[in-house]
Amino acid sequence: MNKILIGSAKDQRNAEHEYEFTLLDFERIKNLIYKRAGITLSSSKYNMVYSRLCRRLRINGCNTFKEYLNFLERVNSSEWEGFTNALTTNLTSFFREQHHFPILEQHIKNHKNQNKIHLWCSASSTGEEPYSMAMTMVQVFKTFSPPVHILATDLDTNVLSKAESGIYPLERLEKLPKDKLKKFFLKGKGTNTGTAKVRPELRDLITFRQLNLLDDTWPIRGPFDAIFCRNVMIYFDKKTQYKILKKFVPLLSQDGLLFAGHSESFQHAADLIKLREKTVYELVKK
Ligand SMILES: C[S@@+](CC[C@H](N)C(=O)[O-])C[C@H]1O[C@@H](n2cnc3c(N)ncnc32)[C@H](O)[C@@H]1O
């Protein structure tokens, strides 16, 4: 049955909402998250933003979005973390964009004689990506203690703590081949039934840290043999992408590789990096 719509578009929007949420509130949120995290929100994200932030209003006892945003913008508001965490999209999976891992494997095999391999996963979300990198390294070096260090960073502190715990519901591991599951995970028992934990040896290869790719300075040192920056640049405009890519350049080793997501193309940074194969980039030699 068709719904009969009565009143203004604003009335109709808010009739479905527990909290008043105006276009002005939405614009304000768009500007704040852009400044804070570089994330651009299109107008199609109106309902998504409403549902993601409702919980923050409830937690902070705010009655309207306006009240919440005023509270958020107070100097040094501790709510920034909750606001940012709510607006990031964290979709990921083990060995996502599978074709990258044999490329990483071959690249590291070519550098096996180095003292230590340094890798950076720059939008690590709940950890599936850095753990997939770590599994690949264990396979390359045929040992659980390869000479490898992986830095895994993300802006979102919630996903970082999930990543650090290394505990996943079994459904998240369904697509992993049985041999990898057996080799790299410990099945939970008792209260942990239905979950699996990555082996501590794998976990020990990775350092998890919060890092905002938008920040002017990053407290890290290269050079990295490879940087994974996959499925995060899609949230940034070209200007922000360029600024970040420019900062990757001095952090990559001379023949280091930059792995991007399937729908990310960096033609606008052709002076910095060039496509090597299938969304894998290398530095432009100067
Ligand atoms: C869609 S996930 C991609 C995860 C993983 N790289 C993959 O491809 O499966 C995007 C991640 O980027 C993070 N992110 C968003 N803005 C960021 C920023 N400014 N700095 C660092 N991480 C950011 C989000 O928190 C989220 O975990």
Strands (E), 76-162: 117-121, 148-154
- Residues 130-160 pLDDT 10s: 999 999 999 999 999 999 999 999 999 999 9
Closest CA to 278 of 112, 156, 97: 97
- Measure the CA–CA gap between 269 and 196, rounded to whole angstroms: 41
Ligand 1 pocket check for 154: Cβ under 6 Å: yes
- Measure the CA–CA gap between 15 and 33, rounded to whole angstroms: 26
- Position 147, amino acid: P
Q: What residue spans define the domains of the chain?
A: 10-87, 100-283
pLDDT (0 to 100) of residue 5: 36
- Measure the CA–CA gap between 161 and 269, rounded to whole angstroms: 33
Say if residue 7's pLDDT is above 50: no
Q: Output the CA–CA distances (angstroms, integers) from residue 39 to 107, 155, 203, in the order listed.
A: 31, 11, 29
- Measure the CA–CA gap between 71 and 235, rounded to whole angstroms: 26
More confident residue, 185 or 76: 185
Q: Which CATH architecture has domain 100-283?
A: 3-Layer(aba) Sandwich (3.40)
Instruction: Please tell me the residue having the least CA distance from ligand 1 atom 2.
Output: 90
Instruction: Please tell me the residue having the least CA distance from ligand 1 atom 19.
Output: 37
DSSP 246-267: HHHGGGEEEEEEEEE-TT---G
Say if residue 268's pLDDT is above 90: yes
d(CA 6, ligand 1 centre) in Å: 41
- Residues 35-88 pLDDT 10s: 999 999 999 999 999 999 999 999 999 999 999 999 999 877 889 999 999 999
Catalytic positions, written as ranges: 52, 154
Ligand 1 pocket check for 90: Cβ under 6 Å: yes
User: Measured from the CA of 228, which atom of ligand 1 is nearest?
Assistant: 6
pLDDT (0 to 100) of residue 3: 34
CB contact set of 110 (below 8 Å; sequence gap of 6+):
none
pLDDT (0 to 100) of residue 48: 95
Sign (positive or negative) of CA dihedral 7, 64, 32, 229 = negative
Say if residue 178's pLDDT is above 80: yes
Q: What percent of the chain has pLDDT over 70?
A: 94
Say if residue 4's pLDDT is above 90: no
**Which residues fall in the annotated binding site for S-adenosyl-L-methionine?**
90, 92, 96, 129, 154, 212-213, 230-231
- Measure the CA–CA gap between 133 and 130, rounded to whole angstroms: 5
- Residues 237-256 pLDDT 10s: 999 999 999 999 999 999 99
Ligand 1 pocket check for 155: Cβ under 6 Å: yes
Q: Across all residues in the chain, what is the average pLDDT?
A: 93
Ligand 1 pocket check for 41: Cβ under 6 Å: no
The class (CATH top level) of 10-87 is mainly alpha
Say if residue 263's pLDDT is above 90: yes
